[in-house]
Amino acid sequence: MDDLRGIERAIEMQETKIAAKGVDVFYGDTHAIKDVNVEIAEKTVTAFIGPSGCGKSTFLRCLNRMNDTIDVARVSGSIMLDGEDIYDPKVDPVQLRAKVGMVFQKPNPFPKSIYDNIAYGPRIHGLASGKAELDEIVEKSLRRGAIWEEVKDRLDQPGTGLSGGQQQRLCIARAIATEPEVLLMDEPCSALDPIATAQVEELIDELRQNYSVVIVTHSMQQAARVSQKTAFFHLGDLVEFGETATIFTNPVDSRTESYITGRIG
């Protein structure tokens, strides 16, 4: 099992960044997430795996309150970010989303120039005081998104003109331009070819130095390659949560074992 490089990777104990306790999500009458408890550590990649429709994306979207945009969605339970309840009525979701960035399944650059794609977040949050500073943020973000070399000569061209993999890295760069503390990634590689996937995975591994990354993925190999912690969801339940190496080599629950050996899902 070459994919399980995680086994050799030493996992230092990190402080908890996000603590979810007893989270339930309802879409109208559908009970999509059932009493989930997860602790996401700082500077760690946490992977959510599970069959389609198991609620992993739904749960991910709870972490930056993207579910607020869906009228029928209802969230209960508590999700603490650095000890503060993000569902507190006093919390403005806009402020939260500046701290908890998100990368989506389908690359979705704005139909604007590459520069404006990156600069948009810093602009609306007032992170740059001048053009020079903004230029610097754009360059830094594109470098960290591992796409600077490819686009530095055409920053004024539309972001939608890039290839799929480049677009996704542009979206990652856009997400980190606002200096979030947590980065949520919803199947970031599902629309990419293996080469672009490898680039994004490398990138995720680098991002771990500074961010807490939560990634939803369909590919168990990917979870094994990039994450330190893995949570397995099934039909809205969090079946098992633990260190990636343990989950993949020695699962406790029979459903986890069935899934990672390919018998369900």
Contact residues for other proteins, defined by CB under 8 A: 64, 66, 69, 71, 94-95, 97-98, 101-104, 106, 108-111, 120-121, 124-125, 160, 171, 174-175, 177-178
Q: How far is CA 41 from CA 66, 201, 208, in A?
A: 21, 19, 11
User: Smallest distance, Å, CB 97 to other proteins?
Assistant: 4
CA 92 to chain centre: 20
Which is nearer to other proteins, 65 or 234 (by Cβ)? Answer: 65
* Cβ proximity to other proteins, 108 vs 246, nearer residue: 108
Q: Which is nearer to other proteins, 111 or 164 (CB)?
A: 111
Q: How far is the CB of 184 from other proteins (least distance, A)?
A: 8
Least spacing, CB of residue 189 vs other proteins, in Å: 16
- 102 vs 238 by CB, closer to other proteins: 102
Shortest distance, CB of residue 169 to other proteins, whole angstroms? 14
What is the maximum alpha-carbon separation in the chain?
57
SS3 content of the chain, % helix, strand, coil (to 5): 40, 25, 35
Q: How far is the CB of 102 from other proteins (least distance, A)?
A: 4
Shortest spacing between CB 43 and other proteins, in angstroms: 21
Spatial separation of the C-alpha atoms in residues 20 and 18, rounded to whole Å: 6
Residue 30 β-bridge partners: 27
69: buried, middle or exposed (CB in 10 Å: 19+, 13-18, 0-12)?
Answer: exposed
β-bridge partners, 122: none
Of the pair 94, 264, the CB lying nearest other proteins is at: 94
Contacts of 193 (CB under 8 A, 6+ apart): 164, 165
CB-nearer residue toward other proteins: 173 or 223 = 173
State the Cα–Cα distance between residues 154 and 162, nearest whole angstrom. 10
